Amino acid sequence: MNYGINLPLKEKQKILITTGIYPPKIGGPAQYAKNLKEAFEKRGYSIKIETYNLEYKMPTGIRHLYFFFKILPNVIWSDVIFSLDTFSVGLPTVLASKIFSKKCIIRMGGDFLWEQYVERTKRKALLRNFYNTEKENFTIKEKIIFALTKWTLTNVSHIIFSTDWQRQIFIKVYDLNVQKTSIVENYYGPKQSDNNFESKVFVASARNLAWKNFDILEKVFKKVEEKNNEVFLFTKNLPYQEFINKMKNAYAVILVSLGDISPNMILDAIKLNRPFICTKEVGIYERIKEAGVFVDPLDEKEIEEAVLNLLTGEGYKKVKEKVQNFNFVHTWDEIAEEFLITSNNLKK
């Protein structure tokens, strides 16, 4: 696909990417930043990355201020800034970009406020309902985060969402101008392998956070393991390539979080042709609904039945065929070009 933006090098922009995590840190946002950087560099663009280092040890507010001053030289250097986070690096990035009249685009990831709230309260608050049911329970700190997030999203040049599901939530909650938003779907890679499983391992690797819903998942698998002692739930975090190698030979992948926008684990499962069980509370449902099995993350019985069905020969065969038949591809080159189109259409 060619969007007509392969400009001569002398016309190409200097791009700053700000991100909370970057390799060798592990996580989807780190991989996103790395791959986006490489896709820009293939076109000859000058790229600089600013990410958290010492900031991890600093309290909220102090780390934002520190990051703000740290990025100023590269903000001045840049023609356009892409921030891959809303609050942690997004807030100081947008503030700096406004001061120096730079084009700044935020690519939305998850929802920092929701994640922090669920971690604090341990309440099973679904992301799509969160602002309707929990806002009155916010602490002063959470009210400040909400206000600062609204300021950030109101003052940024443009917002890129990976799903319309999340965009509709945020437009309503933060009173956003839909004209300042667009959709750039996540990376969907070409199929890489289609191995037979080596053992009945269900991969569920993720950060051990309340919204990942591990307590329910572990209850389910305790019951399942009583009926089938060959089943094993794998939750350990691994470096990315080790994680992929683990998944290649796994029986299946399972994710039952309370809300996920574009979960990289499921996208990796698809390109490796691993059958998967996924939360219904997912932003990419419309894209992948024919590729796997979807469950209510709050319904233990439904999750258990989905796992038990997948453990039958016929059930496994059907779900395996679903993921094998999914062939949508969205490359990093296409993502980079869509980012650049958005940038080129903006005024400072």
Q: Are 126 and 228 contained in the same domain?
A: no
Question: Does 313 lie in the same domain as 336?
Answer: no
Determine the average pLDDT of the residues in 126-131. Answer: 96
* Confidence grade of residue 158 (pLDDT, cut at 50, 70, 90): very high
Q: How confident is the model at residue 169 (pLDDT cuts 50, 70, 90)?
A: very high
Domain that holds residue 150: 9-187+330-344
- pLDDT tens track for 79-120: 999 999 999 999 999 999 999 999 999 999 889 999 999 999
The predicted model gives 204-213 an average pLDDT of 92
Counted domains in the chain: 2
Mean local confidence (pLDDT), 153-164: 97
pLDDT digits (tens, 9 = 90+) for 245-300: 999 999 999 999 999 999 999 999 999 999 999 999 999 999 999 999 999 999 99
Q: Is 263 found in the same domain as 249?
A: yes
Q: Is the residue at 148 inside a domain?
A: yes
The verdict on 154 and 216 lying in the same domain is no
Let me know whether 312 and 337 are in one domain. no
Could you tell me if 232 and 337 lie in one domain? no
- Is residue 62 in some structural domain? yes
Residue 265 falls within a domain, yes or no?
yes
19 plus 168 within the same structural domain: yes
Answer whether residue 6 shows pLDDT above 60. no
The answer to whether residue 193 is domain-embedded is no
Asked whether the predicted pLDDT for residue 1 surpasses 60, the reply is: no
Between 12 and 140, whose confidence is greater? 140
Examine residue 100 and state whether it is found in any structural domain, yes or no: yes
Q: How confident is the model at residue 217 (pLDDT cuts 50, 70, 90)?
A: very high
The answer to whether position 237 is within a domain reads yes
The verdict on 47 and 161 lying in the same domain is yes
Q: Is residue 41 part of a domain?
A: yes
**What's residue 12's pLDDT?**
76
Mean pLDDT lowest for which of 123-127, 150-154, 235-239, 301-305?
A: 235-239
CATH classification at residue 305: 3.40.50.2000
If pLDDT is split at 50, 70 and 90, which confidence band does 7 have?
very low
Instruction: Please report the pLDDT score of residue 3 as a whole number.
Output: 41
Is 226 found in the same domain as 144?
Answer: no
Look up the pTM and report it.
0.90
Tell me, yes or no, whether 206 and 122 share the same domain.
no
Closest to 202 in 3D by CA, of 221, 215, 219: 221
**Residue 28 confidence class, pLDDT cut points 50, 70, 90:** confident
- If asked whether residues 22 and 164 sit together in one domain, one would say yes
Are 129 and 59 in a shared domain? yes
138, β-bridge pairs: none
Whether 1 is covered by a domain: the verdict is no
